[in-house]
Amino acid sequence: MSRRVFLALSGAAGLKPGRAAGAVPIGLELYSVRDELSRDPQGTVRAVAKMGYQVVEFFAPYFTWTTDQAKETRKRMDDLGIRCNSTHNNQPSFSTEGLPKAIELNHIIGSKYIVMASAGRVNGLDGWKKVADQLAAVSEKLQPEGLRTGYHNHKPEFMVIEGKRPMEVIAAGTPKEVMLQFDVGTCVEAGTDPVAWINANPGRIRSIHCKDWGAGAGPDRGYRVLFGEGDAPWKAIFTAAESAGGVEYYLIEQEGSRFPELETAQRCLENWKKMRA
């Protein structure tokens, strides 16, 4: 049976292709191996693919690439059988001058989403409404290009200000085409229920940063806990993401740990496999 026929039959049966079988791709946000990546870009991507990661997400430095560098990167990924579904971007990618370059680079490497990694310093809910307006405007420009934008949350977006959480403002002020890329660890640290957030935004949680967080003092707590060893309720998160959230791929993200970067990435993937078995 061809993949096309299988997907058609799955859709006819009312299933979400890949979800029921736990086949949502697992990737790595390359910020997790940032030092290795800066020293040896090709070797690092090769090592990540060899571990078994299916997807990578390049972060802001990719924006400095030339088109030739982007083409080399795409060829390398194709040879390794790994792909890039999204990029993590700072404000220059969303400027009038920078957006065309971001579009060109993302087209070359095969990325579908140009994600805003941070809104920077924002004052009050009116400031967050402006962020939502910017995302909506960028979304409109990207749609004819076959691309989409998204927003990546941090802890402040889940902290109540003026009676509302900034992420609620962004979700309400942007069209459904704007992905709400969900950073789980920062949500958990803020004291917000990650499962409730996913269920409140059906179809928009298309990418999840599987970053854990563990309460308590110590050098191996906070964001230094390995994926699966913190306080996030991962199994409930996966269920919500795959039944309501519309998740298309997961990305492990690690800010640091007691292990070297590549070993950390390997250990996190091993934890993922055990959890998904």
Task: Give the model's confidence band at 149: pLDDT under 50 very low, under 70 low, under 90 confident, else very high.
Answer: very high
Whole-model pTM over 0.95: no
Residue 1 is predicted with a pLDDT of 33
Residue 8 has pLDDT above 60, yes or no: no
Cα(265)–Cα(224) distance, integer angstroms: 12
Task: Give the model's confidence band at 247: pLDDT under 50 very low, under 70 low, under 90 confident, else very high.
Answer: very high
Region 254-277 average pLDDT = 96
**What domains can you pick out in the chain, each with its CATH number?**
28-276 (3.20.20.150)
More confident: 217 or 241: 241
Q: Could you tell me how many residues make up the chain?
A: 277
Rg (CA), the chain: 18
Quick one: 65 exposed, middle or buried, by C-beta within 10 A (0-12, 13-18, 19+)?
Answer: middle
Cα(209)–Cα(113) distance, integer angstroms: 14
Cα(45)–Cα(215) distance, integer angstroms: 32
Residue 22 is predicted with a pLDDT of 56
Identify the three-state secondary structure at position 222: strand
Region 130-145 average pLDDT = 98
Task: Give the model's confidence band at 117: pLDDT under 50 very low, under 70 low, under 90 confident, else very high.
Answer: very high
Residue 202 has pLDDT above 80, yes or no: yes
Residue 7 has pLDDT above 70, yes or no: no
Instruction: Give the whole-number percent of the chain exceeding pLDDT 70.
Output: 92
Residue 169 is predicted with a pLDDT of 98
- Note the pLDDT tens digit of each residue in 88-114: 999 999 999 999 999 999 999 999 999
Region 236-255 average pLDDT = 98
Angle at 113 between CA 173 and CA 149, to 5 degrees: 20
Region 141-169 average pLDDT = 98
Residue 91 is predicted with a pLDDT of 96
Region 56-66 average pLDDT = 97
Q: How many CB atoms sit inside 10 A of residue 198's CB?
A: 28
Residue 3 has pLDDT above 60, yes or no: no
Among residues 109, 183, 176, 133, which one has the least CA distance to residue 153?
Answer: 183
Residue 222 has pLDDT above 50, yes or no: yes
